[in-house]
Structure 1
């Protein structure tokens, strides 16, 4: 195995409830009488894309909104909340990154979120979760997950074969994207994505163990 590819910022840290709070902050900022409860948000997470999530919700309510503007406000709120969140890495993440680097493997972050969100998360987590060999963000691919484009781009950038890598994903669309690119995938669902379908994953875990992911030396 030559590379470990983390598939989203949610595989590094538990960010979903911070995201939901950021959406609600953005709705208030735009004068919308919307409030997404956790149960509502869990159902929405089965489809990727925050901007599209806003647009679908507005259409269902018969409300006209500038989904792009609301989503920009949401991203600003998310980054502000991250800075004061005291966020820590999810169980086993730091150990896995450390062990992969010690084994001479590459470590990537393969997302379809914005570079600003990625940078804010990495700043919040500190130096133990940093120095990726490739970081893919929304600006580098034309199609979001579940399309395989983000993984295809990462593999081309790293010069690696799909079968020599392992992906770690926290949601159903991410697992589908990795599988479509031919990358074996470990599902590492978060608190708000545990109900997703992970039939294409090699296994489903609640913490990362380097011994299960990396080749034995």
Structure 2
């Protein structure tokens, strides 16, 4: 495995409910209050599609592009406020795992379903600007998860020779679908985020790990 494509929130970065809190604020900005009959099905969709590009989620929920963009703007503002307030931390062993993977001679790419602005906010909060070889968001790859674009863009941008040299790791079913659709032979689910082992395996996980800290040993 010459290239390791890692998710951020829930995989290498603790989520601790930040996505749901930011979504609650975004829904309120569009007149959907927490506890209303409309809200619960929307939150269930957000949970089911964790890992997907956030603007795609809002397009599904709110339909009209103008509403989706308003929701996305409100989501990003709320998420940024949470990060700025100190509610952002690396998962235990994540930075060490990334360093070990790179020490093994592998390229490491961090990917997300967030916008570039939100991804950069997280990287800055953690001091992670140089932790990986490359960082990618959906807008830089064409489409976000569950499409293979993020993994394949990582392959192209790092000069990796073959999809058979890619390992993908994440905490959601959409991460698993991205890996399998990209042709990666190692698609590892981790149990530190949104989805359980059954969902990860149903969407194509070849391995399920307790956390990203176990990945260097698996590949080593």
TM-score (norm 1): 0.83
Q: 2:43 — aligned with what?
A: 41
**Partners of 2:148 and 2:181 within 8 A in 1:** yes
* Structure 1 counterpart of 2:190, from 183, 188, 191: 188
Q: How far is 1:54 from its partner?
A: 3.2
Superposed counterparts of 1:123-162, under 5 Å: 123-127=124-128, 130-160=130-160, 161-162=162-163
d(CA) in 2 for partners of 1:113 and 1:191? Answer: 16
1:201 equivalenced with 2:201 (yes/no): no
TM-score (norm 2): 0.82
Q: How far is 1:123 from its partner?
A: 1.6
Q: How far is 1:38 from its partner?
A: 8.4
Superposed counterparts of 1:18-167, under 5 Å: 18-30=18-30, 32-35=31-34, 41-47=43-49, 48-58=52-62, 66-127=67-128, 130-160=130-160, 161-167=162-168
**Partners of 1:142 and 1:149 within 8 A in 2:** yes
d(CA) in 2 for partners of 1:136 and 1:111? Answer: 7
d(CA) in 1 for partners of 2:10 and 2:193? Answer: 10
Q: Unpaired segments of 5 or more residues in structure 2?
A: none
Q: How far is 1:159 from its partner?
A: 1.1
Deviations 1:117-158 (A, max 9, x none): 11111122224x743212221221222211111111110111
Q: Unpaired segments of 5 or more residues in structure 1?
A: none
Q: How far is 1:210 from its partner?
A: 4.5
**Partners of 1:99 and 1:210 within 8 A in 2:** no
After superposition, the Cα gap between the structure-2 partners of 1:71 and 1:91, relative to the gap in structure 1 and judged at 3 Å, is same
Equivalent pairs counted in the alignment come to 210
Hey, which bits of structure 1, 4+ residues long, moved more than 6 A?
A: 36-40
Q: How far is 1:64 from its partner?
A: 10
Q: How far is 1:191 from its partner?
A: 4.0
Deviations 1:86-130 (A, max 9, x none): 432113312211212222221111334211111111122224x74
Q: How far is 1:209 from its partner?
A: 1.7
